[in-house]
A and B are shown apart, each in its own frame.
Chain A
């Protein structure tokens, strides 16, 4: 943006904020310096300027009812423009400073910095140094985060190629997004899957290529009472351990197993007998195999067989 354009937009904002009555385009052209002489060129430039101000979040109103003639009037209402009064106690300003650091280097870093700028302009002193010794960060390494956040914010449907677990090729999916959730460091999007006509959760790291908007803003309705976090939690839930197993664990090893053990006792010859519970044979067998010759699955038989088959599969 050129210096002249910045000056023009600044004057335009001041002008439209100062006026009590909506101004016509012609009146604006007279008041604000920097517009070209040709009316056509002015109209084009003014259209772009209006767009830029709206993108900045400036509530520029178009009033087409001015005086009964067909020419539209423009103004910015003070009450719609101004940040309401806000004052923060020192401890509140400190946590706000800490919060603003969370997105540093992530997708919403610019937004957090912009918010701080406005709050400082409202008279709040947020210290950038914050409380010593705590560094909270959220990363948005997934390329899909930006467009999906915009889609959620603006209520727009999206489509994207998705590589589901266990499938080799990606599939095109259409989604009305309800929210994005970071769970244990990974981003998910929850929403209404248009093709399957049901609620679905997708992991952002499995989205391939670009996310495209497939409908206008405001066309996604989030059902009342939707808890996006609950949806993602359900999708990601580890089922409860409901089967028992007996293991032989070499003394002094298997801390990870022993932490969740139901019972353990020495079993002679440098081995302990350890009882644990698990949910699913295949996954638990993977885990037991990782201990190599330090853990032996004694029972149940299906678990024992699964571990043996894992170990036999290891390339020699």
Chain B
């Protein structure tokens, strides 16, 4: 919820119109609970209530349509007049929720029965405003085996340790590890297990489509208190100070790299692009550079450029025999 300082008048009007029905539908409700529900301070809430109470219509006969009190911290509306029910959902509002609910249903991220009941009720309540929502669709990658997501979801819920066989493409390795699950994340079109990796002794993200095999162990998960969850709203892969800075020069055939990987800097140099990216592990860049062939060149670090050249030369020797 936005902070009260940033509230615009429009938002305030929306809040005022929602406030009366909020109280009416609950008969009596405390100032504290209401302030939390609306994301405002109690002082701001009292100011809202006073404004509602002061509404006056002067014609044909003068009267004050809304009557309420908040004595002793409990709000009661005794006269709600015509604003006793909330305003209908706007198209944007109905769509935001329906699109999200359908995505959750498709991913089986929550009970499918509860989801379909909720979708039906919301569609009915939204009426015409629900129609456009089918023109927005979110489809999440489902590269993983069907039961993996369910198993991860259960392990997170039951707080049980997971044994993973996990493929790391950057190193072209299958790894084995025990992970104490923290959350199931679905971000940027992919599903991840976030957990405390006991091998790395740190919080790690595991893409579910790279899980080769998994087993939920009969062991309680032990996530240490210092395990810091990833801030999913800041992007999953944020470069850190310790990361290596890699500079690549890309010919037009390799320009997709600038779009595909999060780059720190992209500069145009005639036909070519010069991109800078940060990574904790340069092994995947080595593989990327081999794939790009003449369309890409590692500018920095110099050792990486040498490695890529050596790899290509070693591979060509194998073809010469």
Indicate, yes or no, whether A interacts with B. yes
Closest Cβ of chain A: how far from B277's Cβ, in Å? 17
Assess the B156–A309 pair: CB atoms within 8 A. no
In the bound complex, residues from chain A placing their C-beta under 8 Å from that of B304 are none
Contact among B232, B252, B317 for A166, CB-based, below 8 A: B252
- A178, B136: Cα distance in complex, Å: 9
A118–B93 CB distance below 8 A: yes
Interface size on A, residues (CB 8 A): 120
* CB <8 Å contact, B55 and A10: yes
Which residues of A are found within 8 Å of B18, using beta-carbon distances?
117-118, 120-121
CB pair B135–A228 under 8 Å, yes or no, is: yes
Interface SS of chain A:
helix
Whether A111 contacts B81 in the complex (CB less than 8 A), given A27-B59, A133-B182, comes out as no
B217 contacts chain A at the CB level, 8 A cutoff: no
Interface check B132, CB cutoff 8 A? yes
Chain B residues within an 8 Å CB radius of A255: 167, 172-174
Contacts of B104 in A (CB 8 A): 95, 98-99, 102, 136
B85: A residues at CB distance < 8 A: 78, 81-83, 122
Q: Is residue B301 within 8 Å, beta carbon to beta carbon, of the partner chain? A: no
Give the shortest distance, in Å, between A313 (CB) and chain B (any CB): 3
Assembled-state Cα–Cα distance A205/B19 (Å):
40
A307 to B111, CA, bound (A): 48
Report whether B309 and A86 are in contact in the complex, using a CB–CB cutoff of 8 Å: no
Which single member of B190, B256, B315 contacts A184 (CB below 8 Å)? B190
A83-B86, A152-B132, A314-B309 are known contacts. Are A229 and B13 too (CB-CB below 8 A)?
A: no
| Chain B interface, DSSP helix/strand/loop, else mixed | helix
Q: How far is the CA of A314 from the CA of B90 in the complex (A)?
A: 56
Known: A11-B57, A115-B93, A153-B95. A185 touches B12 (CB 8 A): no
Q: B227 interface residue, CB < 8 Å from A? A: no
Q: Are B125 and A253 in contact (CB under 8 A)?
A: no
Verify A95–B118 contact, CB threshold 8 A: yes
Contact flag A56-B313 (CB < 8 Å), given A81-B88, A89-B117, A313-B294: no
B239 in contact (CB, < 8 A): no
A206 to B258, CA, bound (A): 12
B291 contacts A310, C-beta separation under 8 Å: yes
Is residue B5 within 8 Å, beta carbon to beta carbon, of the partner chain? no
Task: Judge if B16 is at the interface, Cβ distance under 8 Å.
Answer: yes
Q: Is B271's beta carbon under 8 Å from chain A?
A: yes
With A14-B83, A115-B97 already in contact, the answer to whether A294 and B319 are too (CB < 8 A) is no
Q: Which residues of A contact B (CB under 8 A)?
A: 1-3, 5-7, 9-11, 13-15, 17-18, 27, 30-33, 52, 55-59, 78, 80-89, 91-92, 94-96, 98-100, 102-105, 108-123, 131-139, 149, 152-153, 165-166, 168, 178-186, 205-206, 222, 228-229, 232-233, 253-256, 259, 286-287, 289-294, 296, 304, 307-316
What are the 7 A-B residue pairs with the smallest beta carbon separation, nearest first? A1-B9, A185-B189, A313-B294, A123-B25, A17-B82, A313-B293, A179-B135
* Residues of chain B having any CB pair with chain A under 8 Å: 1-2, 8-10, 12-19, 21-22, 25-26, 37-38, 51-52, 54-60, 65-66, 81-83, 85-97, 99-101, 103-104, 107, 109-111, 114-115, 117-118, 121-122, 124-125, 127, 132, 134-141, 153, 156-157, 167, 169, 172-174, 181-190, 212, 232-233, 252, 256, 259, 271, 286-295, 297-298, 305, 308-309, 311-319
